[in-house]
Amino acid sequence: MKIVILGYGKMGHEVEQVALSRGHEVAYRIDTEQDWYRNIDGIADCDVVIEFSTPATAIANIEKCFELDIPMVIGTTGWYAQLDDISNRCKNEGHTLFYAPNFSIGMNFVFKLNKEMAKFAEKYDYQLDITETHHIHKLDKPSGTAVKLAEDIIDNNENYEYWMLDEDDETNVNNDKMLRVNSIREGEIFGIHEVNALSDCDEITLRHEAFSRKGFATGAVIAAEFIQDKKGIFTMEDLI
C-alpha cells in the first residue's frame, strides 16, 4: 500500500516503522495543513491515510479525507461526540473510515473480557470502577479507551446508567447507578487501563498495560490493510 501518515509525531513515527516492516510504502508524512495542500494531488493517488493527531484537528482531517475519497484509519480520540454525524456522512457518501479508541490487539481482547465481567458483576453483586493512566501529554480525559470500557459496562450491567469522571463529581455522592472513572496523567506512561470489581468477599482487577506505542501502530497498519477494497465505517470488532 501507499500510505499517508497524517500527524507525524511519536505515533506517526511508530506507524512508519511498522508500515515499512510490513512491506508498505510511506508516500507522504503530513504534519501541517500546508503539508496537506502542498501534496494534495499525490495524496489523492495513495491507498490510505493513517491519522494520529489531536482531538482539535480530528474532524477537519476526516473531512479532508472524505473530500478526496481516500480510505482513512483514525487513531485520534476525543471527537466521538460527532461520531453519529461522521458515520452517517461516511455511509451516505460511500467513503471508508476505520476508527478505534485503542488499536492494540491485546486491549481489544480486554474489551471482550470487560463485557463478560460486567455481566458477572451484575449477577454476583460486585461494584465496578475504572482507572486509566497515561503520559502527561495526552490531551483527552478520560481516554477513549476508558470511555469504551465504561459504555460497554453500562450496556452489559443494569446496575449502571451513566459514568462520570471522578474529579467532576463535586457532590461526592455515592450514587449506585454511577460508574466512576478515574484519570491519571503522569510521566511518560504509554497507557494503563484497569477495571476493578469489588465485593464484600474479594476483589477482581482486569488490567492492560501498553509497554510501547508499537502495539497501537501495528493495529493501525493492520486496520489499513483490512479496509482495502471496502466501503463503510469499521472498528476493531470488525477486524477481530
Compute CA distances 104 → 30, 48, 193, 208, whole Å.
23, 19, 12, 10
**Residue 119: active-site member:** no
Q: Give me the catalytic one of 95, 138, 148, 208.
A: 138
Q: List, edge to edge, every strand of the sheet that includes 96-99.
A: 25-30, 2-6, 48-51, 72-74, 96-99, 232-234
Q: Which amino acid is at 1?
A: M
What's the grid cell of residue 17? 516503522
Which candidate, 90, 50, 101, places its Cα nearest to that of 73? 50
- Marked catalytic residue, from 95, 134, 193, 208: 134
Radius of gyration in angstroms for the set of CA atoms belonging to the chain, rounded to a whole number: 19
Residue 138 annotated to the active site = yes
DSSP state of 182: E
Which are the catalytic amino acids? 134, 138
